[in-house]
Amino acid sequence: MATLILAGTLLAKPGEEPLYRHTIRIEAGRISAIEKGFAAAATGDEVIDLSDQVVLPGLIDCHVHLTSEFGPTHKILTVEESAAAIALHAAAHARATLLAGFTTVRDLGELGGAGDAIFALRNAVAKGYVPGPRIFAAGAVISPTGGHGITCGYREDINLLLDSSGRADGIDGCRLAVRRQVHRGADFIKFVATGGVLTDTATGTGQQFFADEFEAIIATAHMLGRRTTAHAHGADGIKAALRAGVDSIEHGSFMDDEAIELMLARKVVHVPTTLAGATVAAQAKDGFLPEAIRKKALEVGPQILHTLSRSHKAGIRIAFGTDSGVSRHGENAKEFALMVEAGMSPMEAIAAATRHAAEHLGFADQIGTIEPGKFADIIALARNPLKDIRALLDVNWVMKAGVVYKHAQSQSHI
């Protein structure tokens, strides 16, 4: 028994020309064939009519934080919610993300106090207990004492209570922190190469680990079979992380020409998160941000779009990432319009969120395109995103691994 999707317009492999009037055959959660024309169903087959829709692979966001959502109540919630409450809250974020068409995400770090919520959520989604995207999780962000990944802004005894297993100082500390994340179940290792915007200390956005600490983090992760990614704004930290062998750069706000050359030479991926930049710049005007954060938000926010223009023009591989959790979960697709504003074509932006993101996750043989053998992660839109990229804000049909989670309005019979 198969499921047949009748696709009016089919972007099977973003980056290549669309196909028209094709049938996607799905068996046991995977795509088994793509056929020209609308195939006739055999007895027992289920037919999903998307003949008036644009059908494309499920979207992939390489930078989210499902266990939190920044806003005026964020600081109090951090000390009010138990790890169990955080996990349930995160499940709601995961559901919103899936229904927005994102069938896979990479979660790049929990806050102190979240316990093992992200790993529990990843596993619960995989088992089908709760609806959500397929999750690749980094666990705690590896950060030095006083660095961007460490809880701050409370009384020091409260800060320490919310301390994270990612805290690392010195070579031994860095090795241990990476090993602890892998032991907890991390699929990726995320570390802070520089200061960050949402840290309530005036630590700026420059380098935060020494070169030998970067090397210790990356070498340990690679030895244990995990890719690494660096949160990085300042050029000094970006370049030090690149020289130490990092696999990708998040944000990359102040990357200079030398950093761009290093990224090209080492084939390092850029995950721009322009939506985070736009969000914090807007929040800086709302008045709830502490002064140390407000200053950085206004400085870094608008810079990220400009940086994406440069990195894209230089030919650096871009993987789609939003930093959702800074922005609201489920609004991930807002990133697309910003990518196009930065100079990417709609097709390039879609490829960044599908096949290039899948390659970046090391999972391109399973997801990222609609091809036989891969998971049936498929979405549909009423309007063509190649004509208007904002069409991706209205995903009206979502399938993950062959299971339909959101039904198109015109599909009342399924």
> Which residues lie below 8 Å from residue 378, measured CB to CB, with a gap of 6+?
5, 24, 55, 56, 57, 58, 370, 398, 399
Least separation in angstroms between CB 141 and Zn ion = 8
What is the C-alpha separation between 2 and 373, in angstroms, rounded? 14
Least separation in angstroms between CB 250 and Zn ion = 6
Least separation in angstroms between CB 106 and Zn ion = 10
Piece of 234-242, 285-293, 320-328, 376-384 that binds Zn ion (CB under 5 A)? 320-328
Least separation in angstroms between CB 209 and Zn ion = 17
In the bound state with Zn ion, the residue whose beta carbon lies nearer, of 322 and 369, is 322
Residue 64 in tokens: 């989210």
In the bound state with Zn ion, the residue whose beta carbon lies nearer, of 61 and 323, is 323
Q: What would the x/- binding string for Zn ion be over residues 279 to 318, using CB under 5 A?
A: ----------------------------------------
What is the C-alpha separation between 381 and 396, in angstroms, rounded? 6
In the bound state with Zn ion, the residue whose beta carbon lies nearer, of 22 and 233, is 233
What is the C-alpha separation between 201 and 265, in angstroms, rounded? 35
Q: Which of residues 6-35 bind Zn ion (CB under 5 A)?
A: none
In the bound state with Zn ion, the residue whose beta carbon lies nearer, of 81 and 323, is 323
The DSSP call for residue 68 is -
Least separation in angstroms between CB 216 and Zn ion = 22
For Zn ion, the nearest residue by Cβ is 323
* Collapsed DSSP state (helix, strand, coil) of residue 48: strand
Measuring CA to CA, which residue among 146, 220, 216 is closest to residue 181?
A: 220
Least separation in angstroms between CB 270 and Zn ion = 14
In the bound state with Zn ion, the residue whose beta carbon lies nearer, of 229 and 369, is 229
Piece of 155-163, 219-227, 322-330, 353-361 that binds Zn ion (CB under 5 A)? 322-330
User: Are the CB atoms for 143 and 191 separated by under 8 Å?
Assistant: yes
What backbone torsions phi and psi does residue 176 show, to the nearest 5 degrees? -65, -45
Neighbours of 90 (CB within 10 A): 29
Piece of 137-145, 319-327, 337-345, 353-361 that binds Zn ion (CB under 5 A)? 319-327
Measuring CA to CA, which residue among 365, 395, 356, 394 is closest to residue 378?
A: 395
In the bound state with Zn ion, the residue whose beta carbon lies nearer, of 69 and 323, is 323
Least separation in angstroms between CB 173 and Zn ion = 22
Q: Site for Zn ion (CB under 5 A): how many residues?
A: 1
The DSSP call for residue 165 is T
In the bound state with Zn ion, the residue whose beta carbon lies nearer, of 11 and 246, is 246
Measuring CA to CA, which residue among 131, 58, 6, 133 is closest to residue 392?
A: 58
Piece of 10-18, 130-138, 205-213, 321-329 that binds Zn ion (CB under 5 A)? 321-329
In the bound state with Zn ion, the residue whose beta carbon lies nearer, of 236 and 323, is 323
Check binding of 107 to Zn ion (CB under 5 A). Answer: no
Q: Which of residues 118-157 bind Zn ion (CB under 5 A)?
A: none
Least separation in angstroms between CB 272 and Zn ion = 12
Piece of 158-166, 182-190, 323-331, 333-341 that binds Zn ion (CB under 5 A)? 323-331
In the bound state with Zn ion, the residue whose beta carbon lies nearer, of 95 and 233, is 233
Least separation in angstroms between CB 374 and Zn ion = 28
In the bound state with Zn ion, the residue whose beta carbon lies nearer, of 24 and 293, is 293
Helices 211-223 and 170-184, axial angle in degrees (round to 10): 30
What is the C-alpha separation between 243 and 237, in angstroms, rounded? 10
Check binding of 323 to Zn ion (CB under 5 A). Answer: yes
Q: What would the x/- binding string for Zn ion be over residues 218 to 247, using CB under 5 A?
A: ------------------------------
Strands laid side by side in the 188-192 sheet: 188-192, 227-232, 248-251, 269-271
> Which residues lie below 8 Å from residue 67, measured CB to CB, with a gap of 6+?
86, 87, 89, 90, 93, 107, 110, 111, 114, 117, 118, 121, 325
In the bound state with Zn ion, the residue whose beta carbon lies nearer, of 64 and 395, is 64
Check binding of 110 to Zn ion (CB under 5 A). Answer: no
Residue 232 in tokens: 């990085």
Rounded (5°) CA angle 130-230-315: 100
Least separation in angstroms between CB 273 and Zn ion = 7
* Collapsed DSSP state (helix, strand, coil) of residue 371: coil
Using DSSP bridges, classify how beta strands 378-381 and 188-192 pair: parallel, antiparallel or unpaired. unpaired
What backbone torsions phi and psi does residue 300 show, to the nearest 5 degrees? -85, -40
Least separation in angstroms between CB 65 and Zn ion = 6
Q: Which residues bind Zn ion (CB under 5 A)?
A: 323
